């Protein structure tokens, strides 16, 4: 592998965000808290460790973030078989998704960077040569914006997201409080593929419409579906309105809010972190389309036409308390 490079974005408040050309990855988000820079995410001490990372730490997941059942789908009357890497399913783009590829830096300045990757026709089984760009912008309001865009030479399926694990400077996610504005989530089968149902969450373990202490919620889960996934790893339906806050994560000193034009938010409590990390050391709030949407026609469309441009955005805004 060629050299992994770090691009550091810095705003006028001293907030720092490190972006790697490997995987278009957010390797670090440091926020000034009480006079010192505090790391907000789970990360490696050595950037070289990202080259063999199995957890998608901070990475851009693609071509299709989350799962496609059995790695199969049909489009325009043609069937496609993708590489499979997760219980017989295709996860985060397959065996060689976008996570461990070197992206090219198209442009950069002190507070923004744009990276580009060209994925050839047939890559991991997906149709069309796909040109993908990810732009990171750090504002003076301590907001990190991520803009995904892509064009394909053939009709294809796409779902891009960022896979940061947030802890807001805490040792464990049980020290955090979470709010997700949602009416429903997607139940899954034993391989974490959505059953197709949109289940009302109000009054259940999945209800975070009011801020919930994870220290109180996590030890007291009763829904059997959470046993299958060893904690939360489920997609919530959200507004898809970029102007509306869809989630808030808080510690005693920091609040992070999320806005996005994506229709789904995957909440993952990271039970499977291991090695240099600990289970539940961070959590993911991944703005994305629904898992397996290409195979479930009542889900939001996951088709990118050759004549169209895919554009999706997510904003993570940090506030010291």
Dist CA 9 CA 20 (whole Å):
11
Q: Return d(Cα 247, Cα 40) in angstroms, integer.
A: 16
Angle at 170 between CA 168 and CA 173, to 5 degrees: 90
- Long-range Cβ contacts of 76-85 (<8 Å, 24+ apart): 76/155, 78/127, 80/125, 80/126, 80/127, 81/125, 82/124, 82/125, 82/126, 83/124, 83/125
The 10 Å Cβ neighbour count of residue 149 is: 17
Q: State how far the Cα of 133 lies from the Cα of 309, in Å rounded to an integer.
A: 11
Q: Alpha-carbon Rg of the chain, whole angstroms?
A: 18
Catalytic, 286? Answer: yes
Quickly list H helices, 122-246.
214-217, 225-228
Bridge-based pairing of strands 245-250 and 254-260 is antiparallel
The size of the chain, in residues, is: 321
* Whole-angstrom distance, CA of residue 100 vs CA of residue 97: 7
Quick one: DSSP state of residue 300?
P
Which residues have C-beta within 8 Å of that of residue 28, sequence separation ≥ 6? Answer: 16, 17, 18, 39, 41, 43
Q: Which of 92, 163, 167, 234 is catalytic?
A: 163
Residue among 151, 170, 248, 286 flagged as catalytic: 286
Tell me the catalytic residues. 163, 286
């Amino acid at each position: 592998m060629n050299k992994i490079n770090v691009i550091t974005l810095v705003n006028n408040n001293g907030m720092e965000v490190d972006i790697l050309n490997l995987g278009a990855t957010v390797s670090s988000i440091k926020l000034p808290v009480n006079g010192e820079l505090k790391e907000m995410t789970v990360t490696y001490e050595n950037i070289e460790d990202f080259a063999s990372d199995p957890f998608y730490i901070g990475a851009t997941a693609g071509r299709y973030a989350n799962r496609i059942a059995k790695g199969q789908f049909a489009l325009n009357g043609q069937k496609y078989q993708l590489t499979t890497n997760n219980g017989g399913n295709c996860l985060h783009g397959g065996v060689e998704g976008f996570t461990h590829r070197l992206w090219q830096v198209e442009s950069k300045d002190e507070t923004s960077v744009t990276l580009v990757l060209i994925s050839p026709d047939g890559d991991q089984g997906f149709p069309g040569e796909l040109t993908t760009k990810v732009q990171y912008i750090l504002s003076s309001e301590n907001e990190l914006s991520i803009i995904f865009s892509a064009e394909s030479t053939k009709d294809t399926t796409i779902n891009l997201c960022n896979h940061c694990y947030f802890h807001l400077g805490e040792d464990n996610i049980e020290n955090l409080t979470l709010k997700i504005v949602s009416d429903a989530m997607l139940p899954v089968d034993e391989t974490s593929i959505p059953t197709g149902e949109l289940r009302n969450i109000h009054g259940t373990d999945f209800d975070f419409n009011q801020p919930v202490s994870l220290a109180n919620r996590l030890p007291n889960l009763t829904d059997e579906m959470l046993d299958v996934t060893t904690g939360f790893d489920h997609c919530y339906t959200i507004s898809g309105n970029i102007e509306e806050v869809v989630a808030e994560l808080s510690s005693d000193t920091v609040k992070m809010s999320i806005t996005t034009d994506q229709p789904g938010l995957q909440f993952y409590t990271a039970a499977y972190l291991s090695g240099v990390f600990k289970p539940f050391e961070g959590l993911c709030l991944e703005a994305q389309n629904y898992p397996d949407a290409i195979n479930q026609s009542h889900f939001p469309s996951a088709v990118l036409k050759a004549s169209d441009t895919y554009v999706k955005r997510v904003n993570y805004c940090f506030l010291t308390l």
